[in-house]
């Protein structure tokens, strides 16, 4: 293999070069994976996640110092009675070197995604997200000048802030719910030159999130025995499993995959239900009854994805099964008190989703699901909002268009976005 990496389909086993490919050319219902020529991980002297460039589907790097930071916990570990607890933190925490200013690990996904797209010359990225993902992509757009089309429900537009000005974001707000924005976002991709970001199917997103396991393992010197994370789509869990598999193949960090311990927030816990029922598909009536009402009641709403890549080949269920993992349903009050415990013992505020993961870890210890002498990697997927609000500027991204739910993407709307796209091409040509 001469390329740095190839894509491989776990469905049919075929390998092929990457053209910003999101799906198997033979049509398999499977998540494509990267296979890197480099079997050993050599950390590079580059900023942030590009330290792990060997195992990212990009050739170059971005000059951004925003990677995961890992350390051995003292306070929380003592409180929980754990001997080997590594915290891998993604967010804003200057004392520990945490430089993700939009405060979540979605920046791990956004960076390699933007760079991969640029290197492949695939077009302008389109993202539909009501929260952390949209904010992360706006931030990386602001930092790199990469154009991005972001479609969100109008009610969620207030969450799209950055810490630097953005000049290349086309923000479209949809007067409807998250599904309406996804539908409209898909329509926008019918415009030549705009490509969907692809979610869990995007190998750059997964390998970017996988740097959490690389960083935590290098910090501890060994692969963890257990990996804890709160999940909405579960993409981070898949990414952790894939990254751990690469480290096993490397041979220097242990030979066993960590057990995945993944958590969701009650009352919206479709993957927990499907897992407990042993089902390969999520059945809405069984696994997420009264979805809308349940979603409205959770503390950590970034965990409320209705279409996680659950049963797909190489998806969350496969990752759990292969690693001998387990799922947790966490109540709001348990997450809140775990968030407080973390703030007291580790001295940083958490994203509600990260608090769900901490609560699942406390439960696992209490119920004996983990051996307290073994190695735990806690993926703290977001935090530092309070610090960021004190230290950093905040810019609200201005909407470019506002559309009704179910609006057709034609006529004026289409022309406006096409004009924006043409302008971006001019800006790029001048640069």
Ligand X SMILES: *Cc1c(COP(=O)(O)O)cnc(C)c1O
| Interface region with ligand X, contact rule CB under 6 A, candidates 37-45, 61-69, 351-359, 404-412 | 351-359
Q: Which of 70, 88, 128, 132 binds ligand X (CB under 6 A)?
A: 132
Q: Which of 3, 12, 293, 391 binds Zn ion (CB under 5 A)?
A: 12
Min CB(30)–Zn ion separation in Å: 6
Name residue 71's beta-bridge partners: 87
309 in contact with ligand X (CB under 6 A):
no
For residue 129, give Cα distances in angstroms to 22, 164, 170: 18, 20, 13
Min CB(38)–Zn ion separation in Å: 24
Cβ–Cβ < 8 Å for 373, 84: yes
d(CA 427, CA 431): 6
| Interface region with ligand X, contact rule CB under 6 A, candidates 71-79, 213-221, 229-237, 337-345 | 229-237
Q: Report DSSP state, residue 306.
A: S
32 in contact with Zn ion (CB under 5 A):
no
For residue 16, give Cα distances in angstroms to 24, 71, 122, 233: 9, 38, 17, 26
Which residue has the closest beta carbon to ligand X? 236
Cβ–Cβ < 8 Å for 262, 234: yes
230 in contact with ligand X (CB under 6 A):
yes
d(CA 328, CA 227): 13
| Interface region with ligand X, contact rule CB under 6 A, candidates 4-12, 13-21, 40-48, 233-241 | 233-241
Q: Considering only CA atoms, which of 106, 167, 171 is closest in space to residue 142?
A: 167
- Residue closer to ligand X by CB (options 28, 354) is 354
CB atoms within 10 A of CB 80: 21
- Residue closer to Zn ion by CB (options 24, 359) is 24
Q: Which of 3, 19, 26, 276 binds Zn ion (CB under 5 A)?
A: 26
- Residue closer to ligand X by CB (options 61, 116) is 116
29 in contact with Zn ion (CB under 5 A):
no
Q: Given the DSSP bridges, would you call strands 375-380 and 84-89 parallel, antiparallel or unpaired?
A: parallel
76 in contact with Zn ion (CB under 5 A):
no
Q: Which of ligand X, Zn ion, none has residue 11 at its interface (CB below 5 to 8 Å by kind)?
A: Zn ion
* Window 362-421: residues binding Zn ion (CB under 5 A): none
Residues 6+ apart with CB under 8 A from 243: 55, 207, 210, 211, 212, 213, 214
10 in contact with Zn ion (CB under 5 A):
no
Q: H or E stretch including 287?
A: helix 284-287
* Window 353-382: residues binding ligand X (CB under 6 A): 353-354, 381-382
d(CA 54, CA 216): 17
Min CB(256)–ligand X separation in Å: 22
Min CB(105)–ligand X separation in Å: 6
Q: Which of 6, 7, 24, 174 binds Zn ion (CB under 5 A)?
A: 24
Cβ–Cβ < 8 Å for 351, 91: yes
Q: Which of ligand X, Zn ion, none has residue 236 at its interface (CB below 5 to 8 Å by kind)?
A: ligand X
Residues in touch with ligand X (CB under 6 A): 104, 106, 132, 230-237, 302-303, 351, 353-354, 381-382
């Amino acid at each position: 293999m001469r390329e740095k990496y190839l894509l491989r389909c776990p469905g049919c086993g075929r390998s092929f070069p990457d053209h910003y490919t999101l799906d198997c050319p033979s049509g398999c219902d499977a998540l494509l994976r990267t296979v890197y020529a480099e079997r050993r991980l050599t950390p590079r002297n580059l900023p942030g996640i590009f330290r792990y460039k060997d195992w990212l589907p990009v050739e170059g790097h971005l000059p951004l110092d925003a990677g995961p930071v890992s350390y051995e916990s003292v306070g929380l570990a003592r409180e929980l009675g754990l001997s080997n607890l590594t915290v891998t933190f993604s967010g804003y925490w200057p004392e520990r070197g945490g430089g993700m200013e939009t405060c979540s690990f979605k920046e791990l996904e956004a960076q390699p995604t933007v760079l991969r797209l640029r290197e492949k010359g695939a077009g302008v990225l389109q993202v539909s997200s009501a929260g952390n993902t949209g904010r992360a992509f706006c931030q990386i757009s602001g930092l790199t000048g990469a154009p991005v089309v972001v479609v969100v429900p109008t009610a969620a537009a207030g969450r799209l802030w950055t810490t630097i000005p953005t000049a290349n974001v086309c923000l479209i707000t949809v007067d409807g719910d998250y599904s309406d924005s996804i539908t409209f976002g898909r329509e926008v991709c019918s415009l030549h030159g705009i490509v969907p970001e692809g979610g869990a199917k995007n190998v750059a997103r997964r390998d970017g999130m996988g740097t959490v396991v690389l960083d935590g393992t290098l910090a501890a010197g060994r692969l963890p025995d257990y990996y804890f994370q709160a999940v909405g789509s579960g993409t981070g869990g898949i990414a952790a499993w894939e990254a751990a598999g690469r480290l096993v193949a490397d041979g220097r960090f242990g030979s066993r995959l960590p057990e995945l311990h993944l958590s969701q927030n009650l009352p919206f816990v479709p993957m927990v239900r499907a897992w407990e029922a042993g089902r390969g598909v999520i059945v809405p009536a069984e696994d997420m009854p009264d979805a809308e009402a349940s979603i409205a009641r959770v503390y950590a709403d970034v965990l409320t994805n209705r279409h996680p890549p659950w049963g797909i080949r190489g998806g969350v269920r496969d990752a759990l099964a292969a690693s001998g993992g387990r799922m947790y349903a966490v109540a709001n009050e348990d997450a809140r008190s775990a968030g407080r415990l973390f703030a007291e013992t580790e001295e940083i505020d958490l994203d509600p989703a990260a608090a769900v993961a901490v609560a699942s870890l406390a439960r696992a210890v209490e119920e004996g699901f983990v051996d307290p002498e073994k190695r735990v990697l806690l993926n703290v997927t977001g935090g530092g909002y309070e610090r960021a609000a004190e230290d950093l500027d905040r810019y609200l991204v201005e909407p470019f268009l506002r559309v009704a739910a179910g609006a057709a993407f034609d006529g004026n709307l289409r022309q406006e976005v096409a004009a924006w796209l043409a302008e971006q091409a001019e800006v790029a040509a001048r640069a």
